[in-house]
């Protein structure tokens, strides 16, 4: 085997471990390898070999696998790969340092790459443009694989835990409280925080970075004028400490975070909370503020690449007596869950509503309220014409 073939083999092995570390079933293509080559060197590949069977390891477990490496070498290499977005190196709640291999996407190298400020030099921007084009090609390849194996992938998606949780807007554009319809006879239950204010106030460590989807799309030549800067991506607690330590975002106070969130709601973005282990009863680790035009959560669904896997606690309800048929809710709904009927009255497709509250936020007639009730929203990706 030639030296080049040996290197290619090592990249493929690293790719397999990185794919296994994430929730998206990427095919191992030349594009995937090219992306890894953009980030990783041969020493990185040697280090990643330790994570072949398990994505999270302690120092002792790594030392048992990389017997020729000193503890100092392991720590240095973990720190180096963390700067590239492929390693989460933060202590557990019990103080034990755990090293977790990160995937390409959701949440990994892609998000951390584009959360950062873009380079200001021409060579750096060109390099970022090239990696953006590789990511775009990778998503097309993933979409092709999903569509070719559509029926089996839908079954897989249906069994997958919800990726995110919608945190609804609570005020209209005029600053009035959105009406909440309580469930009649509902049992008392412990719920995760239902407002961004509650989430922010729980944490001392808060970081904000740029919307990775928006920066990525801008590098592909798309432009967006939504009246707010790209700095709207939040992480909390241990995740915030990681983001700050690696330079992916900046530390903000609770007051700064709340002010940014106010502007987010004015711009009509959707709050999506992510939890440790995708368990809504565990702590939140981040909030994405998503716009359907550039957010990959929505775009990958529309393009047949990934399912909507969401936990919602509210459902949009239209009062037909108040609805004027203006169509603003139809325009603003990120899931195209609202349409106008033959009488020009808005109606909601409950299976597609994620309870974000945008329709109520922007309705000039106050004809929309939110009905309480936990739901899992599962929507398979559309089957695309071939």
User: Do 244 and 192 belong to one domain?
Assistant: yes
The per-residue pLDDT for 377 is 97
The per-residue pLDDT for 386 is 64
Q: Is residue 197 domain-resident?
A: yes
User: Do 182 and 130 belong to one domain?
Assistant: no
184 pLDDT higher than 70:
no
User: Do 279 and 130 belong to one domain?
Assistant: no
Biggest CA-to-CA distance, the chain:
75
Give me 36's structure tokens: 């890894």
Q: Is residue 233 domain-resident?
A: yes
User: Do 241 and 358 belong to one domain?
Assistant: yes
Q: Tell me the pLDDT of the chain averaged across its residues.
A: 94
The per-residue pLDDT for 74 is 97
Share of the chain above pLDDT 90, in %: 88
Overall domain count for the chain: 2
User: Do 144 and 196 belong to one domain?
Assistant: no
pTM for this model (two decimals): 0.93
The per-residue pLDDT for 187 is 55
Q: Is residue 384 domain-resident?
A: no
Q: Tell which of 148, 169, 200 closes a domain.
A: 148
Q: In angstroms, what CA-CA distances link 50 with 30, 65, 230?
A: 23, 6, 36
User: Do 76 and 143 belong to one domain?
Assistant: yes
User: Do 136 and 240 belong to one domain?
Assistant: no
Q: Tell which of 113, 148, 183 closes a domain.
A: 148
For helices 150-159 and 122-148, give the axis angle rounded to 10 degrees: 100
pLDDT in tens, 334-385: 999 999 999 999 999 999 999 999 999 999 999 999 999 999 999 999 999 7
User: Do 126 and 50 belong to one domain?
Assistant: yes
| Best CA proximity match to 267, nearest among 216, 229, 299, 318 | 229
Q: Tell which of 123, 148, 173 closes a domain.
A: 148
**H or E stretch at 195:** none
pLDDT in tens, 113-128: 999 999 999 999 999 9
Confidence band for 69, pLDDT divided at 50, 70 and 90: very high
Instruction: Write a three-state SS string for 350-380.
Output: CCCCCCCCHHHHHCCCCCEEEEEEEEEEEEC
User: Do 78 and 95 belong to one domain?
Assistant: yes
User: Do 105 and 203 belong to one domain?
Assistant: no
User: Do 157 and 134 belong to one domain?
Assistant: no
Residue 70 belongs to a domain with what CATH number? Answer: 1.10.10
The per-residue pLDDT for 370 is 97
Q: Is residue 385 domain-resident?
A: no
pLDDT in tens, 85-109: 999 998 887 888 999 999 999 999 9
User: Do 124 and 165 belong to one domain?
Assistant: no
Q: Is residue 386 domain-resident?
A: no
Domain that holds residue 92: 3-148
Confidence band for 182, pLDDT divided at 50, 70 and 90: confident
């Amino acid at each position: 085997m030639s030296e080049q073939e040996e290197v290619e083999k090592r990249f493929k092995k690293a790719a397999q471990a990185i794919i296994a570390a994430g929730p998206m079933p990427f095919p191992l293509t030349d594009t995937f390898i090219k992306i890894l080559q953009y980030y990783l060197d041969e020493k990185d590949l040697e280090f990643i070999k330790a994570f072949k069977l398990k994505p999270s390891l302690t120092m002792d477990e790594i030392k048992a696998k990389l017997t020729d490496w000193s503890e100092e070498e392991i720590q240095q290499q973990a720190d180096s790969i963390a700067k590239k977005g492929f390693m989460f190196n933060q202590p557990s709640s019990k103080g034990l340092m755990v090293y977790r291999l990160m995937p390409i996407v959701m949440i990994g190298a892609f998000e951390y790459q584009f959360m950062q400020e873009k380079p200001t030099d021409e060579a750096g921007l060109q390099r970022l443009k090239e990696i953006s084009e590789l990511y775009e090609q990778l998503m097309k390849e993933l979409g092709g694989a999903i569509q070719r194996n559509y029926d089996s992938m839908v079954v897989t998606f249906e069994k997958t835990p919800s990726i995110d949780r919608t945190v609804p807007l609570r005020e209209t554009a005029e600053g009035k409280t959105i009406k909440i319809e309580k469930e009649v006879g509902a049992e008392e239950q412990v719920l995760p925080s239902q407002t961004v204010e509650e989430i922010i106030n729980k944490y001392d460590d808060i970081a904000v970075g740029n919307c990775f989807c928006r920066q990525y799309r801008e590098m592909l030549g798309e432009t967006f004028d939504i009246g707010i800067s790209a700095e709207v991506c939040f992480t909390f607690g241990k995740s915030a400490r990681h983001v700050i330590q690696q330079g992916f975002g900046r530390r903000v106070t609770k007051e700064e975070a709340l002010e940014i969130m106010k502007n987010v709601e004015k711009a009509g973005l959707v709050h999506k909370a992510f939890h440790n282990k995708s368990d809504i009863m565990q702590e939140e680790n981040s909030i994405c503020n998503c716009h359907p035009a550039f957010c990959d959560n929505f775009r990958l669904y529309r393009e047949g690449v990934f399912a909507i896997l969401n936990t919602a606690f509210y459902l949009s309800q239209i009062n037909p007596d108040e609805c004027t048929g203006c169509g603003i809710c139809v325009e603003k709904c990120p899931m195209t869950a609202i349409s106008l009927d033959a009488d020009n009255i808005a109606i909601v497709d409950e299976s597609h509503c994620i309870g974000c509250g945008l329709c109520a936020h922007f309705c000039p007639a106050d004809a929309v309220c939110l009905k309480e009730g936990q739901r899992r929203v599962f929507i398979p990706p559309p089957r695309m014409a071939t």
